Structure 1
Amino acid sequence: MGSVIDFFDYIIVGGGTAGLTVANRLTEDADVKVLVIEAGQDRTNDALVQVPGLVVGMYGKPEYDWNFSSTPQPGLNNRIISQARGKQLGGTSAINFMMLLFPPRGSLDAWGALGNKGWDYESLSPYLRKFATVHPPPQAAKDTLGLKYHDDSLVGNGPVQVSYSEGYSESNAAWMETFAKLGLEMKTDPRTGKGLGAFQQGGSIDPATKTRSHAASAHYTPEIASRPNLTVITETTVKRIIFDTSKAEPVAVGVLVRSKDGSDKTLSGGEIILAAGALMSPQILELSGIGSRSLLESLDIPVIVDNPNVGENLQDHPITCQSFEVNSGVPSGDVLRDPNVLNALVQQYQDGGKGPLGQSNISVAYVPLASGEGVYSQDTKKTLFASYDEHVQTQDGQVIRKLLEESDEPSVQYFFFPSQTHTDMHDPPSMADYLLPTSPENYLTVMSMLNHPLSRGSIHITSDDVDKLPIWDPKFNSNPLDLEISARHVQFVEMLLRTSPFGDIFKPDGARIPQVKGDTLEDAREVVRQCQVCCFHPACSLAMKPRERGGVVDSRLRVYGTKGLRVVDASVFPLQTAGNIQTMVYVAAERAADIIKEDRKARV
């Protein structure tokens, strides 16, 4: 853990995906002293963290998960949505599904177009190569899936380990073949910034040990932990940032923390880096007096910077889940409901990581705007957007419209998930309840994730007590165009089910969750309202944009109106990217570390 030093050059609030990445990179310079403060525990050696197939066992448990629940969502039949957030060293990279996708070029060029110099695809490409090591797929994966588009030379020698499974099934192969039949065969490696169609993404799993590769195992190895200039303290809560307000602009000079023993103390730093994630970094800013004046005054919090953009602009990837009963003999993860099967697989895993518990077998597809008739033509896309013209008039809306009207921009990412889901629950205790197999039949699930949602949610405190979770309101489908696009992609799923060989996996007229069949547009909308949830990807709540356009941080991640304070996590994304965001949190953190190093050099 290193020795506790009285003064640190940098204090990082949050030892999660971004925080540990930045801490590792900054302490490569032996003269730079860094403190990381994490509210959760270090559970790096815990079997639930390490074993990929046991991930659901962490959800809802306070030693792993902050376990957020949303406000009731009018756009989802007033359901309350559950959201897991990592409460441990490594943050959400320690509890996610380990899916490692690379964003298309258009997603990142949109960041630059919103006024962020140095944050377009070309500028971020070096970090897309730097953050991970992608191991070549084993021969068994090539035999089952083909993988002709895969380029073994891409993505070099970074600390996060990414690998492919040896256990893809004939169902995964049928997924690839069916998309190809529909004109959506992947022809280029999607890690190059272009690519449409079905493909096999890697998982953040170390192929040598078959264990989860996350921020703590990658960026806080025993070697890094032994650096005398790095101190990591866990089970310590940051209550607020402390400012020197005697200057023209308030200067962040330290943090007030509650230690493991319950006592409060102040820690001093040269710069404070907030990395508590898209739901909790806004909470800490508001508790510290940065946010909307009216909100802060209503809670008797002294206003340091009046910026009503704090906690607004929140974007998440809404994901609609449709589960279908499979024919007997088709492999399904639902067999894990039998404790004897689970125990046998645990035994198998203990023999050198063998078997399905050491793998991630979710296949995916990037698909442009489509419906049950197939991929939309340019004219059909334009007609759809024109009919919702008033709902795309914001700057974000115009950028997204331009993106989605491109012929090669995926509007949706499909997931082929290996078991049943119950996302139609009204108020689940935790995310585990969506995923535990409670129906007796065996299922596989197709999920449709909206890459570029137009709806904007919020996250705000309701109390000056740090232990009271802020109110999370994703406002799913508050922009009606989101519902329209999601519903059309539900219709596309119904077409997939009618297409061989994928359709041959499922029982004709078998059970389905939800029971509504999404063939007509109105029924497809109802599937969305019943079964759409969040996809673990909250972002953009402290957006990197010009302040007058809704920004909280500038393109060097400095909080407007302050000195000595930055934010580095998914909250600074100006716009949600296509694909699972784990990759982009690492990329943003790697880029941020270089920016911080550059700014330090400029000061010296």
Structure 2
Amino acid sequence: MGSAAENFDYIIVGGGTAGLTVANRLSEDASVKVLVIEAGQDHSQNPLALTPGLVVGMYGNPEYDWNFSSTPQSGLNNRIINQARGKQLGGSSALNFMMLLYPPKGSLDAWGQLGNKGWDYDSLSPYLRKFATFHAPPQSAKDAVGLKYHDDSVIGDGPIQVSYGEGFGKSNAVWMETFAKLGLEMKADPRNGKALGAFQQGANIDPATHTRSYAASAHYTPEIASRPNLTVITETVVKKIVFDTSGAEPVATGVLVRTKQGTEQTLSGGEIILSAGALMSPQILELSGVGDRSLLERLNIPVVVENPNVGENLQDHPISTQGFEVNPDVPSSDVLRDPNVLNALIQMFQDGGKGPLGQSIISVAYSSLADGEGVYSEDARKALFASHDQHAQTRDGKLLRELLEGPNEPAVEYFLFPGQVHTVLDNPASMADYLLPTSPENYLTVMTMLNHPFSRGSVHITSADVDKLPSWNPGFNSNPLDLEISARHIQFVELLLRTSPFKDLFKPNGARIPQVKGDTLENAREVVRQSQVSDFHPACSLAMKPRNQGGVVDDRLRVYGTKGLRVVDASVFPIQTAGNIQTMVYVVAEKAADLIKEDRKLKA
């Protein structure tokens, strides 16, 4: 590890999705010394991290996962819900479901509209091309899921490898067909900024090896790791950022760390880049004296910068689940409950990445506002918001309302998950409890994810001890509009279930998880309360906005009230985007690296 006397140009706190991306890009300049500090281990050669189908084996294990539990959620029948967070090189890109979705134009233009110059769709599009390389879909994928809308010219040239597997089957094909029947056929490539309908997204799986392509494998290759100007240290905890407070504005000069051996030392840097994620970057700021004065004083932490916005404005994608028992001839991942089947599949994968464990077969759909009768007309969209006018009065709320009343913005993302999901739990030990098949029947699960939540949560420290996880309160359904929108889309799933060919996959009157049928609006609300959890996309907790409008960082990601300190991770999102967020974490990191390089040139 770097000695205490060594001075780095940049110290990156967190070797996760954003942190490793920034480290790779900054260390391309051989004259710049970069240090990355990661609390977890390097699992980049570990089969659990590399094998797509073994991801559940990491959940709840402290060697891989920080394993957050929420405060009791009053909007979810007071359930405590779980959230996996990557505790390893590569961060949460090491234990996500590898779904690579691109946000529609409106959802990114909203970033710019909230006062962030250079952060609209057109400005960010080059980074959507820069972070990944797409491989052409094989013929078997085209045969199964159509992909007629796929634009072969959108390839990109980045280190994250994205592919479409060979494992799609009847269920995926039926999904596409049924959505098209209900007026939701995908007509344009969703990677080009406009997307409504069912489609097959790529997965960040390297088609050559069938292994997970993630921040550690892409941005910390042996070649990058051998750069003499890049130092990466693992199993080292950052206790706080060190500030020089002698001048008019506090200057970040280094970090206090606890090494793997348990000793403490201060490491010095020209600029500190905080990339610990949306739940832990706020923790480190608060431990360092940046945050709400009353909270810091209560915990005897000296106040360096007073900003009550730190840890507020948290937005996550809540996801509700409805599982349905399938007919005997319909494939389901629930067969993996048989250890003999799992072992046979592991053997197959070891033989050159063959078989289902090297595939991602989740299909998705984007839908504008809808219910059990189908997709809403413009009048129906406006009527829904008019009846909840008082719940969309904030600046964010008005922006979201305008987006969702329009014809092009997906209110929800549906997932077709290949097995059973048990989210109807009061306090799971880890995310594995949601995903391990414990019911004897075989299922497929339709998940309904709210793209644009109106609810806001928070994450804050409750102790000055860095080893005590901060208190995470997603605040699901704290704004009643979210429950109303989610419930109507639960009703739409019941319509999907009544429509051929989708209905032909399932046993008539078969088992359900949860047992409540989401046919009436009140029943649908209850499905949401019983089954909704986090889709592990926390963001916005250190928002990039004007400071007087709730911001913590400016549009160059510099922390207000400080010098020499930036944040680069999902916490800086000003507002949640539509779709799975790993794409946008890479985009933010790629753009941040360019901003940092620009600012370095200006200083030179």
Same fold (TM over 0.5): yes
Distance 1:252 1:286, change over 3 A: same
Distance 1:2 1:187, change over 3 A: farther
State how far apart, in whole Å, the 2-side matches of 1:272 and 1:167 are: 44
2:402 aligned residue: 402
State how far apart, in whole Å, the 1-side matches of 2:396 and 2:44 are: 39
Q: Deviations over 1:126-164 (max 9, x none)?
A: 000000001111111011111100011103210000000
2:234 is equivalent to residue 226 of structure 1: no
2:473 aligned residue: 473
Task: Tell me if the contact between 1:2 and 1:230 (Cα under 8 Å) persists in the aligned partners.
Answer: no
Task: Tell me if the contact between 1:134 and 1:155 (Cα under 8 Å) persists in the aligned partners.
Answer: yes
Q: Deviations over 1:482-501 (max 9, x none)?
A: 00000000000000000000
Map 1:174-573; keep pairs closer than 5 Å. 174-573=174-573
Shift of 1:325: 0.2
State how far apart, in whole Å, the 2-side matches of 1:195 and 1:475 are: 28
Task: Tell me if the contact between 2:4 and 2:268 (Cα under 8 Å) persists in the aligned partners.
Answer: no
State how far apart, in whole Å, the 2-side matches of 1:585 and 1:553 are: 16
State how far apart, in whole Å, the 2-side matches of 1:452 and 1:427 are: 26
Tell me, which stretches of 5 or more residues in structure 1 are unaligned? none
Question: Secondary structure in 1 aligned to 2:126?
Answer: helix
Aligned-pair identity (%): 79
- The aligned amino acid for 2:598 is E
Question: Secondary structure in 2 aligned to 1:256?
Answer: strand
Question: Secondary structure in 2 aligned to 1:536?
Answer: coil
State how far apart, in whole Å, the 1-side matches of 2:287 and 2:477 are: 29
2:598 is equivalent to residue 598 of structure 1: yes
- The aligned amino acid for 2:141 is A
State how far apart, in whole Å, the 2-side matches of 1:47 and 1:401 are: 44
State how far apart, in whole Å, the 1-side matches of 2:266 and 2:581 are: 34
Map 1:110-125; keep pairs closer than 5 Å. 110-125=110-125
Task: Tell me if the contact between 1:128 and 1:155 (Cα under 8 Å) persists in the aligned partners.
Answer: no
Task: Tell me if the contact between 2:4 and 2:267 (Cα under 8 Å) persists in the aligned partners.
Answer: no
Question: Secondary structure in 2 aligned to 1:486?
Answer: helix
Task: Tell me if the contact between 1:368 and 1:408 (Cα under 8 Å) persists in the aligned partners.
Answer: yes
Shift of 1:329: 1.3
Please list every run of at least 4 consecutive aligned residues from structure 1 whose deviation after the TM superposition is greater than 3 angstroms.
1-5
Question: Secondary structure in 2 aligned to 1:489?
Answer: helix
Shift of 1:293: 0.2
Question: Secondary structure in 2 aligned to 1:487?
Answer: helix
State how far apart, in whole Å, the 1-side matches of 2:108 and 2:93 are: 21
- The aligned amino acid for 1:241 is I
Question: Secondary structure in 2 aligned to 1:260?
Answer: coil
Q: Deviations over 1:501-554 (max 9, x none)?
A: 011000000000000000000000000000000001000000000000000000
State how far apart, in whole Å, the 1-side matches of 2:537 and 2:155 are: 23
Shift of 1:5: 7.3
Q: Deviations over 1:232-275 (max 9, x none)?
A: 00000000000000010000000000000000000000000000
Tell me, which stretches of 5 or more residues in structure 2 are unaligned? none
2:157 is equivalent to residue 157 of structure 1: yes
Question: Secondary structure in 1 aligned to 2:79?
Answer: coil
State how far apart, in whole Å, the 2-side matches of 1:5 and 1:102 are: 43
Q: Deviations over 1:205-229 (max 9, x none)?
A: 0000000000000000000000000
State how far apart, in whole Å, the 2-side matches of 1:156 and 1:283 are: 35
Question: Secondary structure in 2 aligned to 1:449?
Answer: strand
State how far apart, in whole Å, the 2-side matches of 1:328 and 1:5 are: 66
- The aligned amino acid for 1:48 is L
Task: Tell me if the contact between 2:5 and 2:267 (Cα under 8 Å) persists in the aligned partners.
Answer: no
1:107 aligned residue: 107
Task: Tell me if the contact between 2:93 and 2:214 (Cα under 8 Å) persists in the aligned partners.
Answer: yes
Task: Tell me if the contact between 2:317 and 2:450 (Cα under 8 Å) persists in the aligned partners.
Answer: yes
State how far apart, in whole Å, the 1-side matches of 2:412 and 2:476 are: 16
Task: Tell me if the contact between 2:309 and 2:542 (Cα under 8 Å) persists in the aligned partners.
Answer: yes
- The aligned amino acid for 1:158 is G
Q: What is the root-mean-square deviation in Å for CA atoms of aligned residues? A: 0.9
Q: Normalising by structure 1, what TM-score?
A: 0.99
State how far apart, in whole Å, the 1-side matches of 2:579 and 2:372 are: 22
2:11 is equivalent to residue 11 of structure 1: yes
State how far apart, in whole Å, the 2-side matches of 1:12 and 1:296 are: 24
Question: Secondary structure in 2 aligned to 1:279?
Answer: coil
Out of 379-388 and 20-29, give the one that drifted further: 379-388
Question: Secondary structure in 2 aligned to 1:525?
Answer: helix
Shift of 1:467: 0.1
Task: Tell me if the contact between 1:491 and 1:524 (Cα under 8 Å) persists in the aligned partners.
Answer: yes
Question: Secondary structure in 2 aligned to 1:548?
Answer: helix
State how far apart, in whole Å, the 1-side matches of 2:225 and 2:412 are: 40
Shift of 1:408: 1.1
Shift of 1:2: 8.7
State how far apart, in whole Å, the 1-side matches of 2:10 and 2:142 are: 46
- The aligned amino acid for 1:454 is F
Question: Secondary structure in 2 aligned to 1:416?
Answer: strand
Q: Deviations over 1:16-44 (max 9, x none)?
A: 00000000000000000000000000001
- The aligned amino acid for 1:79 is R
- The aligned amino acid for 1:457 is G
Shift of 1:183: 1.0
Q: Deviations over 1:543-589 (max 9, x none)?
A: 00000000000000000000000000000000000000000000000
State how far apart, in whole Å, the 2-side matches of 1:198 and 1:155 are: 21
- The aligned amino acid for 1:425 is L
State how far apart, in whole Å, the 2-side matches of 1:351 and 1:229 are: 38
Q: Normalising by structure 2, what TM-score?
A: 0.99
Question: Secondary structure in 2 aligned to 1:157?
Answer: coil
Task: Tell me if the contact between 1:2 and 1:229 (Cα under 8 Å) persists in the aligned partners.
Answer: no
- The aligned amino acid for 2:547 is R
- The aligned amino acid for 1:107 is S
- The aligned amino acid for 1:148 is K
2:76 is equivalent to residue 76 of structure 1: yes
Shift of 1:195: 1.5
Task: Tell me if the contact between 2:55 and 2:96 (Cα under 8 Å) persists in the aligned partners.
Answer: yes
Question: Secondary structure in 2 aligned to 1:257?
Answer: strand
- The aligned amino acid for 1:518 is G
Task: Tell me if the contact between 1:2 and 1:225 (Cα under 8 Å) persists in the aligned partners.
Answer: no
State how far apart, in whole Å, the 2-side matches of 1:293 and 1:202 are: 45
What is the count of residue pairs matched by the alignment?
A: 604
State how far apart, in whole Å, the 2-side matches of 1:252 and 1:583 are: 29
